[in-house]
């Protein structure tokens, strides 16, 4: 609690403030009812009556609250009482908390017969460490250059990431690039850290924020990113004579190198997986590693309703290899496929989807080491990566999705427009071979 003074700067004593939780109430002239002031980072639309406050970091690293000057933002009267409420957070350490209990009587009058039951709807998430110096050096001058306008794609990225720290990545492209073209529109794909999809409430917040900063003739359309997942397989060979590391240790180091590469170069829009670069990461993970053979396939997740006749199109958005031998109705299970799926049940049998090498998609079952075609159920466009599935009824599948895999024509895989590449650690398959040199 503070008293309003001529120096409208109020320093918060705890450095671990969750700034999104700050609530400021101002009590003027001895009033018992406070006026709620809202935080703002913008001068847009402010008047002398706007009840807002600003947030900044002081020279000691503590957060400070300050008010307007009665021109842009209302300034509380002298000797007003200012009440500031906030939560204390601890960065990443707070993520995943799901067990809570009430250790006080919320009524403050012992009216409750039993201790309140606290039910956790969702575990805590989106906690993050304070912005580092490199991030500040990157965004601060660009935010100043943008001046709260959105004209270029970079402008959109800067203003959104500055205002909404939960945003992981932004991709902006014009309506003339979509089919059919939508002139006068700009599409903004937004990926939120540790969140699947894009909640409607977030879409509304982002749209309203951009609307006041975009030219009148341009309308922003907020869209979810499409996820293109990666499956990595690597055969790692290491020299047993120059290390005491076990096979499991070498496998762990190689897997960690792949995850490190993913964190550095992927998980973003307009990213590219370069196999030679990834291979160097694996080779450099331990001095005993002499070589690796690494390949990357792509897949998308399909969540079909069970026991319903349906059709769909899966866009892998990447050219696929088209030079594999064509297959007959019965063929070896060792033969390579361009398109294939994870397992599911069809008519009570364990099956997969596989292409026949000629652009036909089929449901196949297993018999010993062979695949037996049950039904033709769609097509594959190798040039575009479009997989069309027609008239299929899925009885059951493991997990929350069927994975539709594709083998890219190019070993280097690029994401475009609203596509963001993701690597699931469960799709990293590393095998290790010891050799003597």
Q: Say what the pLDDT of residue 31 is.
A: 85
Which parts of 187-292 fold into alpha helices (H)? 200-211, 247-265, 275-283
State the Cα–Cα distance between residues 293 and 285, nearest whole angstrom: 15
Q: Say what the pLDDT of residue 144 is.
A: 47
State the Cα–Cα distance between residues 393 and 388, nearest whole angstrom: 14
State the Cα–Cα distance between residues 7 and 23, nearest whole angstrom: 20
Q: Say what the pLDDT of residue 147 is.
A: 52
Q: What is the DSSP letter of 90?
A: -
CATH placement of domain 133-224: 3.30.300.200
State the Cα–Cα distance between residues 189 and 408, nearest whole angstrom: 24
Q: Which residues of the chain have pLDDT under 50?
A: 144, 146
Q: Which two tokens stand for residue 265?
A: 């170069």
C-alpha torsion sign, points 25, 26, 31, 34: negative
Concatenated DSSP letters of 19-88? EEEEEEEEE-TT-SSPEEEEE-S--TT--TT--EEEEEE-TTS-EEEEE--SSSSPPPPTT-EEEEEEEE
Domain residue spans of the chain = 2-90, 133-224, 227-298+426-435, 304-399
C-alpha torsion sign, points 393, 396, 398, 399: positive
- Give yes or no for a contact between 290 and 238, defined as CB atoms under 8 angstroms apart: yes
State the Cα–Cα distance between residues 333 and 368, nearest whole angstrom: 9
Residue 269 has phi, psi (to 5 degrees) of -70, 155
CA-wise closest residue to 389 among 302, 314, 305: 314
Concatenated DSSP letters of 146-162? HTT---SHHHHHHHHHH
C-alpha separations of 131 from 267, 345, 358 in Å: 19, 48, 52
Q: Which residues of 58-72 are buried (b: 16+ CB within 10 A; e: fewer)?
A: eeeeebbbbbbeeeb
The packing angle between helices 133-146 and 153-163, to 10°, is 120
Angle at 393 between CA 392 and CA 394, to 5 degrees: 115
Q: Say what the pLDDT of residue 387 is.
A: 97
- Give yes or no for a contact between 428 and 259, defined as CB atoms under 8 angstroms apart: yes
Q: Say what the pLDDT of residue 311 is.
A: 94
Q: What is the pTM of this model?
A: 0.68
């Amino acid at each position: 609690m503070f008293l309003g003074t001529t120096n409208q700067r109020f320093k918060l004593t705890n450095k671990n403030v969750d700034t999104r939780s700050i609530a400021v109430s101002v009590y003027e002239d001895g009033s018992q009812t406070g006026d709620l002031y809202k935080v703002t980072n913008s001068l847009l639309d402010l008047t002398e009556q706007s009840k807002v406050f600003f947030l900044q970091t002081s020279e000691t690293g503590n957060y400070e609250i300050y008010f307007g000057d009665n021109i842009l933002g209302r300034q509380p009267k002298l000797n007003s009482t200012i009440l500031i409420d906030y939560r204390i957070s601890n960065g990443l350490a707070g993520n995943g908390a799901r067990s809570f209990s009430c250790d006080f009587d919320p009524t403050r009058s012992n009216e409750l017969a039993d201790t309140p039951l606290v039910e956790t709807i969702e575990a805590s998430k989106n906690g993050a460490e304070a912005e580092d110096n490199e991030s500040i050096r990157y965004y601060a001058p660009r935010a100043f250059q943008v001046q709260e306008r959105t004209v270029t794609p970079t402008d959109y990225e800067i203003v959104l990431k500055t205002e909404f720290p939960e945003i992981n990545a932004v991709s902006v492209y014009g309506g003339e690039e979509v089919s059919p073209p939508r002139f006068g529109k700009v599409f903004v794909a937004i990926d939120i850290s540790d969140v699947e999809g894009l909640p409607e409430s977030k879409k509304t917040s982002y749209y309203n924020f951009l609307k006041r900063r975009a030219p009148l003739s341009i309308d922003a359309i907020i869209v979810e990113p499409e996820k293109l997942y990666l499956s990595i397989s690597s055969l790692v060979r290491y020299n047993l004579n120059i290390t005491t590391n076990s096979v499991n240790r070498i496998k762990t180091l190689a897997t960690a190198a792949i995850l490190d590469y993913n964190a550095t170069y992927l998980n973003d829009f307009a990213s590219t997986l370069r196999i030679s670069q990834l291979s160097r990461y694996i080779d450099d993970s331990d001095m005993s590693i002499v070589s690796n053979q690494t390949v990357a396939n792509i897949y998308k997740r399909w969540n079909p309703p069970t026991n319903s006749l349906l059709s769909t199109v899966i866009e892998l958005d990447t050219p696929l290899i088209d030079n594999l031998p064509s297959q007959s109705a019965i063929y070896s299970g060792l033969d390579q496929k361009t398109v294939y799926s994870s397992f599911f049940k069809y008519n009570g049998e364990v099956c997969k989807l596989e292409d026949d090498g000629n652009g036909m998609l089929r449901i196949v079952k297993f018999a010993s080491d062979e695949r037996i075609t049950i039904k033709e159920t769609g097509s594959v466009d190798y040039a575009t990566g479009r997989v069309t599935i027609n008239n299929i009824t899925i009885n059951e599948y493991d997990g929350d999705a069927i994975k539709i895999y594709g083998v890219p024509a190019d070993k280097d895989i690029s994401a475009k427009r609203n596509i963001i590449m993701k690597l699931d650690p469960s799709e990293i398959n590393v095998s290790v071979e010891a050799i003597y040199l």
